[in-house]
Structures are given as structure tokens and as C-alpha cells.
Amino acid sequence: MNMNQSFLAFTLIASSQLFTSALAADGIINFTGRLTESACEVASKNISVNMGSVTAAEAKIFHDEPLGRVSEFELVLNNCPANINVASIIIEGVAEPTNASLFALDNAGQPGVAKGIGISLFTLDSPGSMKPIVPNEVSQLTQPIDASPGNSNRIKFYADYFGLNIGSEFASGSANATMQFSVLYN
């Protein structure tokens, strides 16, 4: 073997070691899930919640807390199959930039949109304590499902405008928000 062939063989062996190192695994991703026979029927796929009117002056008074104008709404699950025991809810929407536990208003920062408030969502557990619904996270609520024939499972939610921190600018305007929900079964 001459010097050029030896150098070429050494280069090939060395570069193969580099590629082996570059392709090494850095971690593992585990996917979990379950195939179910079917899911519950969601009775209302489009829910409208009337939040009423609040003045900018009221919002300034209630900075960093709910404004006390609670609106109730519910999700109704019908005809749940027997193999489903518990449901959790995830509500997806834009988080308020100054408080990630609140939902932002649609078109926030645009002309004609209210300033200084977000929307707080929560549920109540059986002792009556509040369980916040954080944007884009699975709720802390786990709703037991009654799969008896003809039974409806009602999951109650509450919404309130929430005054942002004291340094926020407050202005009147539309105070609407759009969110999506998904039901997760266990």
C-alpha cells in the first residue's frame, strides 16, 4: 500500500467515526395514548358566554384581581361509552402577555379593543374551591363520567374579566375572546 492509499484509508476511517458521533441519540421520546371504542358526544360545540359590560374605571379599581362579574357556562357530554371513567378539559387560546394564567382579548392592542383586562376561567371542585383554567394546559379538573344510558355529564365553568397590573393602561372597547376546547378521556 502506498502513502496516498494509506492516507485515504485513514481519512475514511476517521470521518466515519465523526458521523457516528454526530448521529448519537441525545434523548428518548415516549408516545403514549389509548384507542377507545368511541367518545362522549359533546352537546354544544359552539358556546357563547355573555360577559356583560364593565367600565374602564372599574377595571382600574380591580387591578390584579377578578372584577366580580362571574359568568357561568357548561360543557355537556352525552352518551359516554362505559369504558370512559374520567374526562379532563383543555381550553386553548392566546395567553395574556402580562399574566399567562389569563386569556387575552381577541385582537388585543388593536384600535377599538379594550385595554387593561384579560379573561379568567375557572371551575369549582366539590368542596367549592376555585381551580383555575390556564390557557393551553390540561385543567386541574378531572370530571368523573357517568356512562349510564341517557345520562348527561355537565361540567361547569366560570369566567370573569380580570384587571391587569396597576401599571397597565385601561381603555374602553370590545372585550371579546375566542377559545377552543378539547375533551381528554382517561
pLDDT per residue as tens digits for the range 9-26: 555 555 555 555 455 667
Supply the CATH number for residue 94's domain: 2.60.40.1090
Structural domain includes residue 131: yes
- Please state the pTM of the whole predicted model: 0.74
Question: How many domains does the chain contain in total?
Answer: 1
Structural domain harbouring 95: 54-185
Q: Give all strands (DSSP E) within the chain, no chain letters.
A: 41-42, 65-66, 71-78, 86-92, 95-96, 99-103, 117-124, 130-133, 143-144, 152-163, 180-185
Interatomic CA distance for residues 103 and 122, integer angstroms: 11
Mean of the per-residue pLDDT values of the chain: 81
Structural domain includes residue 62: yes
Coil, helix or strand at residue 15: helix
Coil, helix or strand at residue 134: coil
**Cell numbers representing residue 19 in the block:** 458521523
Structural domain includes residue 82: yes
Q: Which stretches in the chain have pLDDT values below 70?
A: 1-25, 27, 30, 32-37, 61-65, 67, 126-127, 166-167
